[in-house]
Amino acid sequence: MLQGYRIVEIEGLGPGPFAAMMLADLGAEVIVIHRPGGGNPVAGEVNLLDRGKRSITLDLKDPADLQTARALISTADALIEGFRPGVMERLGLGPDDLHPENPRLVYGRMTGWGQTGPKAQTAGHDLNYIATSGALWYASAPDDTPQTPATLVGDIGGGAMYLVAGILAGLLSATRTGKGTVVDAAIVDGSAHMMALLMSMAPSDNLHEARGTSLLDGPHWSRVYRCSCGGHISVQCLEPKFYAAFLDLMGLADSPDFSDQNDPAQWPRQTAQLSAIFATHPVSHWATIFEGSDACVAPVLSPWQAAQEAHNAAREIWTMADTGPQPAPAPRFDGQRATPGPAPERGADSEALRKELRARGLLT
By the 8 A CB rule, do 48 and 7 touch? no
By the 8 A CB rule, do 312 and 305 touch? no
116: left (phi over 0), alpha (psi -120 to 50) or beta: beta
- The residue annotated as part of the active site, out of 99, 125, 232, 285, is 125
Q: What is the DSSP code (8-state) at residue 220? A: T
189 contacts: CB under 8 Å, gap ≥ 6 = 114, 133, 158, 162
Q: Which of 23, 126, 132 is nearest to 79 (CA)?
A: 23
**b/e 251-280 (16+ beta carbons within 10 angstroms → b):** ebeeeeebeebeeeebbeebbeebeeebee
Q: What is the β-pairing status of strands 222-226 and 232-236? A: antiparallel
Q: Report the alpha-carbon distance of residue 270 to residue 264 in Å, rounded.
A: 10
- The total number of residues written for the chain in this structure: 364
By the 8 A CB rule, do 188 and 136 touch? no
SS3 sequence of 103-138: CCCEEEEEECCCCCCCCCCCCCCHHHHHHHHCCCCC
Three-state DSSP class for residue 310? helix
Cis peptide bond N-terminal to 41, omega within 30: no
- The residue annotated as part of the active site, out of 77, 155, 184, 189, is 155
Whether 155 is catalytic? yes
Whether 143 is catalytic? no
162 contacts: CB under 8 Å, gap ≥ 6 = 185, 189, 190, 193
Q: Report the alpha-carbon distance of residue 102 to residue 280 in Å, rounded.
A: 65
State the catalytic residues.
125, 155
